[in-house]
Amino acid sequence: MRRWNVFDRVGPQVNNPNQTMGMFLAEAYQKIAQLQVILNNDPMQMEFVEQQVKELFDLGAGLCLTGMIANSMNSKEHDKRCEETRLEYAIPLRAGHERQVEVHLGAGHISYAATLYCQPKSPAASREDHTPGLDIDLSQYGFSENVSPWLVSKVCRTVALAPSLDQAYVELQRDGIQLTRTTIDRIVSRAGSESLTVRERMLEQFERGDMKQGCEFTGRRVSVQIDGGRTRTRGVLEWIDPVENFGKTQSQVTGELSAGRSKETRRSSRFQADWREPKLLIIYAHDDNGRRDEAVRVLIDGSFGDADYMERLISMHLHRLGANKAKTITFNSDGATWIWGRIDSILAKAKVESAVVVNQVLDVCHAVENLAAR
């Protein structure tokens, strides 16, 4: 039987939301009475009281979710889904053994669950294709490394919008989500890796001919903008034998500038990294005047892959969004030959009908630059 504990690893065991909400209400009545006294004595403490009330009900949400999941896990339907998942997994899995894990839920609430973890039957097969084992219970609810789907989304969006990981950490703390910087980095890295895996599976499905054409762009004017960028990527540090090269820096050993963050003692040392070109694309619908259609989501994607990979990626996105039934498709880009030489191939792979009007527009900024140069 799966067990869920709240507050700590040996805290009260819960089985249903009625039980956890009873715990919350007992806590809430006492806390609200204390906050009411503070507000009555000093109305200027409103911000503090407001924050405390928010955190209180975040606790209630976490307790409620814990009770709901605990109740759901102890059902025959859950056992059936777990067994189906285990049998259909990418590699054969063992029956599983129970382990207690720390589970992060919405708003940063932490509970402790004893769930089943299924190891690969063949460790060699797991290492060969980098497929890990699976927490068979939590996977049914979309957890990623014991973090709930909503919390993963919240953390990733905050990190994406913040100028740095440190600032994202501060913003999450203000929202009552108590996660370490290491945990935040792990959540974001894991989500990125999983997203890339999903994209690869979508490409495979598209190229097998199993992906259905969508209808999101039916009858709409579609714009596809493609460009290349520039970014630095950290190089691989060369290992230095600590005995043979005691007291020496990487540059002194290799005779070259340090790759990655420099270990040099000179104050003039700085980060050394190679330039790479990410290839970027944005696909959106617009009206007759070129203004973006707010009713249709914008798709933004990119890759460090080569031009062939980008051709596959654009074709797949146009196919699944239903560009084959669009009113018009406009490709907008600079003068890079790797883009314009592939338009016909992209349209063919996406199965765009001949009735769709296709426009090819040179980006005005790049066009003006070339005119000025001449």
Tell me the per-residue pLDDT of 167-211, one tens digit each, with 9 for 90 and over.
999 999 888 888 889 999 999 999 998 899 899 999 999 999 999
CB-neighbour burial class of residue 282 (10 A; exposed 0-12, middle 13-18, buried 19+): middle
pLDDT at 269: 40
Q: What is the model's pTM?
A: 0.75
For residue 168, give the 3-state DSSP assignment.
Answer: helix
Is residue 311's pLDDT more than 90? Answer: yes
- pLDDT of residue 237 exceeding 60, the answer is no
- At residue 90 the predicted structure's pLDDT band, cuts being 50, 70 and 90, is confident
- Which pLDDT score is estimated for 266? 43
In this prediction, residue 270 carries a pLDDT of 46
Residues of the chain with CATH 3.30.420.40: 213-230+277-373
- As a whole number of angstroms, the distance between CA 238 and CA 249 comes to 11
The pLDDT assigned to 225 comes to: 92
Work out the average pLDDT over 343-371. 85
Mean pLDDT, rounded, of the chain: 85
Whether 127 shows a pLDDT value over 90: the answer reads: no
Measuring CA to CA, which residue among 199, 188, 371, 159 is closest to residue 300?
A: 199
Q: In CATH, what is the architecture of 213-230+277-373?
A: 2-Layer Sandwich (3.30)
Residue 328 has pLDDT above 90, yes or no: yes
